[in-house]
Amino acid sequence: MDFNQSHSVKLNDGHFMPVLGFGTYASDDVPKSKVGEATKIAIDVGFRHIDAAYFYQNEEEVGKAIREKIADGTVKREDIFYTTKLWTTFFRPELVQQGLERSLKKLQLDYVDLFIIHVPFAMKPGEELLPKDANGQIILETVDICDIWEAMEKCKDAGLTKSIGVSNFNHKLLELILNKQGLKYKPVCNQVECHVYLNQSKLLTFCKSKDIVLVAYSALGSQRICGTWLKENSPILLDDPVLGEIARKYNRTPAQVALRYQLQRGIVVLAKSFKKERIKENFQVFDFQLTPEDMKTIDSLNRDFRYTEPAHFKDHPNYPFHEEY
Ligand X SMILES: NC(=O)c1ccc[n+]([C@@H]2O[C@H](COP(=O)([O-])OP(=O)(O)OC[C@H]3O[C@@H](n4cnc5c(N)ncnc54)[C@H](OP(=O)(O)O)[C@@H]3O)[C@@H](O)[C@H]2O)c1
Q: Do 174 and 166 meet the contact criterion of CB atoms below 8 Å apart?
A: yes
Residue ranges in 235-254 that form contacts with ligand X under rule CB under 6 A:
238, 253
Residue (30 or 178) nearer to ligand X, CB: 30
257 binds ligand X (CB under 6 A): no
Among 88, 103, 161, 168, binds ligand X (CB under 6 A): 168
270 binds ligand X (CB under 6 A): yes
Q: Which residues contact 318 (CB under 8 A, 6 or more apart)?
A: 120, 121, 142, 145, 173
45 binds ligand X (CB under 6 A): no
Residue 107: how many CB atoms within 10 A of its CB? Answer: 21
306 binds ligand X (CB under 6 A): no
Scored b (16 or more CB within 10 A) or e, 124-143 reads bbeeeeebeeeeeebebeeb
Task: Pick the piece of the chain touching ligand X (CB under 6 A) from 20-28, 59-67, 97-105, 314-322.
Answer: 20-28
Active site residues: 56
Among 17, 263, 271, 285, binds ligand X (CB under 6 A): 271
Residue (94 or 245) nearer to ligand X, CB: 245
Task: Pick the piece of the chain touching ligand X (CB under 6 A) from 67-75, 137-145, 239-247, 278-286.
Answer: 278-286
Task: Provide, rounded to whole angstroms, the least separation between the CB of residue 267 and ligand X.
Answer: 13
183 binds ligand X (CB under 6 A): no
Task: Provide, rounded to whole angstroms, the least separation between the CB of residue 298 and ligand X.
Answer: 16
Q: Which residues contact 121 (CB under 8 A, 6 or more apart)?
A: 88, 91, 140, 141, 142, 143, 313, 316, 318, 319
Rounded to the nearest angstrom, the gap between the alpha carbon of residue 163 and the centroid of all alpha carbons in its chain is 14
Nearest to 288 by CA among 262, 257, 258: 257
Task: Pick the piece of the chain touching ligand X (CB under 6 A) from 144-152, 175-183, 218-226, 316-324.
Answer: 218-226
Cα–Cα dist 285/199, whole Å: 19
Task: Pick the piece of the chain touching ligand X (CB under 6 A) from 6-14, 121-129, 149-157, 215-223.
Answer: 215-223
**244: alpha, beta or left, given left = phi > 0 and alpha = psi -120 to 50?**
alpha
58 binds ligand X (CB under 6 A): no
Task: Pick the piece of the chain touching ligand X (CB under 6 A) from 102-110, 134-142, 146-154, 265-273.
Answer: 265-273
Among 24, 58, 88, 163, binds ligand X (CB under 6 A): 24
Binding letters toward ligand X, positions 93-122, x by CB under 6 A: -------------------------x----
23 binds ligand X (CB under 6 A): yes
54 binds ligand X (CB under 6 A): no
Rounded to the nearest angstrom, the gap between the alpha carbon of residue 45 and the centroid of all alpha carbons in its chain is 20
- Number of chain positions touching ligand X (CB under 6 A): 27
25 binds ligand X (CB under 6 A): yes
Task: Provide, rounded to whole angstroms, the least separation between the CB of residue 296 and ligand X.
Answer: 23
Chain positions contacting ligand X, by CB under 6 A: 23-25, 51, 118, 167-168, 191, 217-223, 238, 253, 255, 270-275, 278, 281-282
